[in-house]
Structure 1
């Protein structure tokens, strides 16, 4: 189903400057960029792009704010982070619309991104006055041995275009709770929600400069990573960019944490509830966010004995998802992010057809008619795909999934683990023993049983293998932004 795009991005007031030291900065050294709304393919704003000069200014502002921040009592810092959570809640509707302007995510999902950020801020606010160090005994001594967790000072957080508000929750919240100041570098493709978030931080009472927001491209990103005043980098995005960041960070031996891509496997066993599995995997696969998610379940493995029955339900769920205006509350599938992404994804589909990687059973085309000016692609499913093919092994980052049969549990695990990625895995089964057994054998940072991925602040999230090194969520996410110090006090005096 499709709907006409009726909402034009130009109807909303979107922030376009850089946010540094609590001020809106224009005339930046990085110049400007015309932002394109994916729903129409038309420009909706001209935004400022940060360059090296703005990075210098933001680092200076951040260090000053950091010193003020750590001078506050833990209780005061906790309360201010709760103020930010309240601000995210109260501004959720506007943030949701800005999120849709950013990269075309339907409003049915964009509001949830704001809610996720709020949850993470509430969770990490609670750690500020509770995340203590420890004291351990020292052999044959009566010394006092203390292990302290201290902030880095100023950290750089590089957000992807497909979830800037999610990164605000997963990474900015623990960085602030740990005592750091943050320079948030959103992609130039999706700058609006991060900029609004920076403004909300000041309104909530955080010291000006504690959160600076610098939309930029590769040049601004490299300036941030190479800056000697930035003491840690957290990057969410693709593997090739991560390699460049790690190389640049080596200049100052700056530590880097990463959350990277995925080619997540979903295992559908013959005892699964096929109706639930089909709907869950359609959303987790080509439908939700048009497959533009690191958590996308793009390899779906189905036991031979229920393969045809699952496929009938799965194709029905995929084809019934409404495609259209991302501002329409009933829209489930919005556009992909850009013309370049459209061309790339169509190239993946054409290559898979040419190489006979599998059978194209639905989708595969760009939508025309009322949606022709936007970047809309049909959710696409290939059946009986070769797991060694490029289609099954290379991250597509679009609404394209492979469905692959398997014979038994051992083969399912082997196929699922045959990937350089290891971010998420999914299991559909009603056998509790199998769920535990298989989950422990899957090489993935998160395993979701009988559900879609649902990030929560209590659980660490991150990847195995080439899906990254580092965790967001839980105490592990807080420790990602802290360095450990040992203090031993001799008592022989």
Structure 2
């Protein structure tokens, strides 16, 4: 029986997507686009293309809400009172949110329900930032000189209108990571989801629509590159928070100077995981790293360590266990709990991934397994068997460029300093990993690696800890107090007590 996602769509009562502007669901113009499911390439529904007119309306509503409305001036207790029911509503809807996310991007339902991209985690993120509302404080400073009786203090104030642009691969989590702190700090938000994944975000927007948020504080616009560019360049926007490709991030950065927009950019990655011979368990390291490329989102995560730097003495053992791991991979119906892996998000990206696998062969890397497409009923979807390249040199394109697919490159090293040099020889710097039983080595190498975050014998992201990149991976942090700083402006007040 052929795989189809349409019965789930019908059971969930999915309707065509609309815009949410100034407290009301609406349509502006007639332009629409289809959302296609990557497992089957079936059309799931269609969405409104906001375009410039829709963005203008949404930004105008957000601008009025910030400049003239109560939200940015509201007492902390009242803002908390309004946000807390949103937390509970997200928790209550987490099962539906999970199914909508799987209907968006094909992430296996077991991960959509229970992993760091789940609705439960989105609720946790909103809860975390609701808790910050009455703790966003400034400072007072000791008198620096006795020649004046000036006293100094600082206050944190909201940035203003925030344009939040989310990716397709973790729409639920990234929605929460951008919207929750922005609202907690008193900002107004215009959010644009990826045109490849809008269903779960429509549900989250509906939860906010039914809350007591004042009109215009949260707005949703859907659409493709035209809508995204109109939003990121809009003169009424004070800050852009974008998660996506480096090319788009660089374009946003180049135009942000028009009105000196604040920016948070989480872009691509080509992260390295260093596996030392003293690691407690080579098998665990190999299965973890191969599994991040072959299961869950099939390597379509910017923080995935797609370069495995393995000490030469344990390369054969590492490769053996990596080969064993892919036997556990199961493609198929994304709503089947047994399915382990996500298809490539689009036919265009599928061609790109396959193209890189050809490039790797031509460069001289040895493809040990995978890199081909499964047949049978899976042929209708964008599936690729996870690939492992060995005999990889860090100068090869497959080791330098972000593939964003199920491809792991094994690069051997002999000495610690050599491993650090190879890891840092990249234009990216988002995340990284270290596998060792020697904690002294772990901290020494972690400090030497030029990247935004490092996992020692494991890696995960939590709402209360910051994550983000350096170099071409972007700048700014999401998580914990660091995000509060990203969504506030620091104001200094000087008080002359002799006046």
Q: Fold match, TM over 0.5?
A: yes
> Take 1:65 and 1:401, find their aligned partners in 2: how far apart are those partners?
47
Match of 1:76 in 2: 78
| TM alignment of 1:118-197, pairs within 5 A | 118-140=123-145, 141-197=148-204
Q: Aligned equivalents of 1:368 and 1:209: distance in 2?
A: 49
Which whole-Å CA distance do the structure 2 matches of 1:115 and 1:434 have between them? 36
Query: Structure 1-normalised TM-score?
Result: 0.96
Mapped to 1, the partners of 2:25 and 2:472 lie a distance apart of 37
Q: Specify the alignment match of 2:301 in structure 1.
A: 293
Aligned counterpart for 2:292 among listed residues 262, 266, 284 = 284
1:14 corresponds to which residue?
Answer: 14
Distance 1:324 1:65 in 2: 46
Partner deviation per Cα, 1:368-415 (whole Å, 9 max, x = no partner): 101111111111111121111000000000111101111121111111
Which SS does the other structure have where 1:291 is aligned? coil
Aligned partner of 1:317 in structure 2 is 325
Q: Distance in 1 between matches of 2:391 and 2:125?
A: 40
Q: Measure, in 2, the Cα distance between the counterparts of 1:157 and 1:210.
A: 13
Return the match for 2:270 from 263, 272, 284.
Answer: 263
CA contact (8 A) 1:325 1:334 kept: no
- Taking the TM superposition and a 5 Å limit, the aligned residue runs for 1:17-56 are 17-26=18-27, 28-29=28-29, 31-56=31-56
Shift of 1:123: 1.0
Say how many residue pairs are matched. Answer: 488
Q: Which moved more, 1:127-136 or 1:205-214?
A: 205-214
Cα displacement (A) at 1:142 = 2.8
Distance 2:214 2:330 in 1: 44
Q: Work out whether 1:326 is the aligned partner of 2:334.
A: yes
- Correspondence 1:108 to 2:121: no
Once the two structures are TM-superposed, the CA of residue 151 in structure 1 deviates from its matched residue by 0.5
Deviates more, 1:371-380 or 1:134-143: 134-143
Contact 2:293 2:405 in 1 (8 A): no
Other structure's SS at 2:474 match: coil
Deviation at 1:429, TM superposition (A): 1.0
* Worse overlay, 304-313 or 220-229: 220-229
Question: For the residues of structure 1 that align with 2:212 and 2:437, how far apart are their CA atoms?
Answer: 49
Any idea what SS the aligned residue of 1:129 has? helix
What are the residue-to-residue correspondences of 1:55-74 with 2, within 5 Å? 55-66=55-66, 67-74=69-76
Preserved contact between residue 40 and residue 373 of structure 1 (Cα < 8 Å): yes
Residue in structure 1 matched with residue 3 of structure 2 by the alignment: 5
* Residue 6 of structure 1: how far off its partner (Å): 4.8
Q: How does 1:440-479 map to 2 (within 5 A)?
A: 440-451=447-458, 453-479=459-485
Deviates more, 1:395-404 or 1:72-81: 72-81
Contact 1:222/1:248 (<8 A) preserved? no
Question: Which residue in the other structure is 2:99 paired with?
Answer: 97
The CA distance in 2 between the partners of 1:373 and 1:482, in whole Å, is 47
Q: State the distance in 1 between where 2:76 and 2:260 align.
A: 30
1:4 deviates by 6.2
Equivalent-residue separation in structure 2 for 1:207 and 1:196 (angstroms) = 18
Structure 1 unaligned runs (5+)? none
Counterparts of 1:192-231 in structure 2, within 5 Å, are 192-231=199-238
Cα deviations by residue, 1:430-450 (Å, 9 ceiling, x for unpaired):
111111111111111110011
Q: Is the 8 A contact 1:69 1:179 kept in 2?
A: yes
The more displaced of 370-379 and 55-64 is 55-64
Contact 1:62 / 1:181 at 8 angstroms: preserved in 2? yes
| In the alignment, structure 1 residue 403 sits paired with structure 2 residue 405 | no
- Choose 319-328 or 379-388, whichever is displaced more: 319-328
**Residue-by-residue CA offset, 1:224-246 (whole Å, 9 max, x unaligned):** 12222211111111111112112
How far does residue 70 in structure 1 lie from its aligned partner after superposition? 2.5
When normalised by structure 2's length, the TM-score is 0.94
- Aligned mates of 1:207, 1:433 — CA distance in 2: 52
Q: Deviations over 1:412-435 (max 9, x none)?
A: 111111100000001111111111
Matched, 1:242 2:241: no
Contact conserved, 1:30 with 1:51, CA < 8 A, in 2?
no
Q: Which shifted more, 417-426 or 218-227?
A: 218-227
* d(CA) in 1 for partners of 2:51, 2:423: 42
Point out where structure 2 has 5 or more consecutive residues left out of the alignment: none
C-alpha separation between the residues in 2 aligned to 1:288 and 1:316?
17
Give the 3 Å change call, closer, same or farther, for CA 30–217 of structure 1 in structure 2: farther
